[in-house]
Amino acid sequence: MAGLKYLSGFGNEFASEDPRCPSALPEGQNNPQVCPYGLYAEQLSGSAFTCPRPTNKRRCQIFQFVGHQLKYTSQHSTAQHYEIKSIRNTSIHPNIILFYYPESSTLNIGLHTVCGAGDSKSRNGICIHLYACNTSMTDRCFQNSDGDFLIVPQQGKLLVTTEFGKMMVEPNEICVIQQGMRFSVDVFGETRGYILEVYGAHFELPDLGPIGANGLANPRDFLVPVAWYEDRTVSAGYTVINKYQGKMFSCQQDFSPFNVVAWHGNYTPYKYNLENFMVINCVAYDHADPSIFTVLTAKSTRPGVAIADFVIFPPRWGVADHTFRPPYYHRNCMSEFMGLIKGHYEAKEEGFQPGGASLHSIMTPHGPDVDCFEKNSTATLKPERVAEGTMAFMFESSFSMAVTKWGLDTCNRVDKEYYKCWEPLRSHFNPKWKPASK
């Protein structure tokens, strides 16, 4: 859908009216006795009323025909995949797991949870889902009452209709749909990607510290939809699906929920093109930690420790002198879930397919495969482009993840031999080695 308009900025105070209804936002107040055009006023609160100002940025006033719904009933079909219970019941072991992506043709029912930890009831935790579909959502929308979705399309673009307006999100872009926001997705063929869900925190831009005012993901590159409504009666029934405490509920209404004529506030969905990321990296020697590539972070209450970070490995220059340039060998107190949007990943050129994923669990050793190690230990170190035409990413989390039954068994695409990419690493130990004489 060409020609969609957006507002620009991260977490700004925005105001938007559908141009068909000028002056739909009441002047100077949120709750006039009667709203313009006879609309209903509703506040969507994404932070506690009493949060201190820096975090109390999370609210939106929306003006709509009508918002309230009928009774939710439990919905079955795909419900079990979202249950946190299913995460607790499943496999806990520290192996490294490489998931191959399920064929989309075998899977057109949407979302599958692969791993996660914590829970939505205590508002602290994460879930990682994969989606694969080839059918648009017709007369149905989704509302996640549990947390925020950071959606990473890998194949196929998504036309996301929200209460705030429409966004087109293509592979190499991401979007965030925050807790409680209703949305529906149109697809245009085989479509798949990844979703990071966080409970109890919203995504923020990372602090820049000594980097200064510019760098990483710049706030102006985040795009927010403009108000758009439809006045549509759906006599056959419009289904609102609500994920609440890990379970799916649905209710029927006879109108489209995308009836918000105007809104203002700073609690909105948004999208970001990863191509806009301003990469900061080593220009002298050694390998900077990948936190330098953080696009968005969902902070925990412990300073510097994220519930989850969204980190990318964008095309860039590699210039470090006398340095083994690829990722170092690593044991981490965090979990590392990696995915690949396109191209190859520098630490594993073969085997890691776009659409695939790997989970390197807490303190499980990982790093470059044997080819990458040998090649880069002897390479002539001239400035060169790294990761050209590729985009790998990582969901890095302080939670220790359990893998669902679906992730391990049902998807049936786990590479049981993944660990073998490190098996041929041989010792280069030379006891006769001498330091170069100065």
Q: Which sequence positions are flagged as catalytic?
A: 287
DSSP category for residue 420 = G
| Residues numbered 333-352 forming contacts with Fe ion, rule: CB under 5 A | 336
Give whichever of 20 and 331 is closer to ligand OMD, judged by the CB atom: 331
For tokens 């609309």, the residue is 39
SS3 of the chain: helix, strand, coil, percent, to 5: 10, 40, 50
Q: Is position 366 annotated in a ligand binding site?
A: yes
336 is in an annotated binding site: yes
CB nearest ligand OMD: which residue? Answer: 327
E strand or H helix at 377: helix 370-378
Q: Is 330 in the site for Fe ion (CB under 5 A)?
A: yes
Q: Which residue has the tokens 């030379």?
A: 430
Residue 188's binding partner out of Fe ion, ligand OMD, none, with CB under 5 to 8 Å set by partner kind: none
Task: Check if the beta carbon of residue 167 is closer than 8 Å to that of residue 114.
Answer: no
- Whether the CA torsion 238, 241, 267, 136 is positive or negative: it is negative
**Listed ranges 97-105, 177-185, 305-313, 329-337: which one lies at the site for Fe ion (CB under 5 A):** 329-337
The DSSP element (H or E) to which 59 belongs, if any, is strand 59-64
81 binds, among ligand OMD, Fe ion, none (CB under 5 to 8 A by kind): none
Q: Hey, is 421 helix, strand or coil?
A: helix
390, 384 Cβ separation under 8 angstroms: no
Q: Is 287 in the site for Fe ion (CB under 5 A)?
A: no
Q: Smallest gap, in angstroms, from Cβ of residue 394 to ligand OMD?
A: 6
Intra-chain end-to-end CA distance of the chain, in Å: 65
In angstroms, the CA 356 to CA 103 distance is 11
Cβ closest to ligand OMD, residue 56 vs residue 400? 400
Give the nearer residue to ligand OMD in terms of CB position, either 156 or 327: 327
Residue 347 binds which entry of ligand OMD, Fe ion, none, with Cβ cut-offs from 5 to 8 Å by kind? ligand OMD
Q: What is the H or E stretch that residue 85 is in?
A: helix 84-88
Kindly state the tokens that stand for 237. Answer: 């029934």
With beta carbons less than 8 A apart as the criterion, state whether 263 and 66 touch: no
3-state SS, residue 211: helix
Nearer to ligand OMD, 247 or 287 (CB): 287
Nearer to ligand OMD, 65 or 329 (CB): 329
Q: Which residues bind ligand OMD (CB under 6 A)?
A: 290, 327-328, 330, 336, 347, 360, 366, 394
Q: Which residue's entry shows tokens 């925050």?
A: 178
Q: Beta-strand (E) ranges in 301-334?
A: 306-313, 316-318
Is 129 known as a binding-site position? Answer: no
Q: Shortest approach of Fe ion to residue 362 CB, angstroms?
A: 10
d(CA 349, CA 356): 13
Among residues 41 and 292, whose Cβ is nearest to ligand OMD? Answer: 292
Residue closer to Fe ion, measured from CB, 18 or 336: 336
One-letter identity of residue 276: N
Using CB under 5 A as the binding criterion, the count of chain residues that bind Fe ion stands at 3
Stretch of residues binding Fe ion (CB under 5 A), selected from 7-15, 263-271, 273-281, 332-340: 332-340
Q: Residue with the closest Cβ to Fe ion?
A: 330
> How many CB atoms sit inside 10 A of residue 109's CB?
12
Query: Nearest approach, Cβ of 238 to ligand OMD (angstroms)?
Result: 43
Q: Which residues contact 308 (CB under 8 A, 6 or more apart)?
A: 126, 196, 198, 297, 298, 395, 396, 397, 398, 399
What span, in angstroms and rounded, lies between the C-alpha atoms of 281 and 284?
9
Residue ranges of the annotated binding site for homogentisate are 345, 366
Residues that bind Fe ion (CB under 5 A): 330, 332, 336
**Binding-site residues from annotation:** 330, 336, 345, 366
Annotated binding site for Fe cation: 330, 336, 366
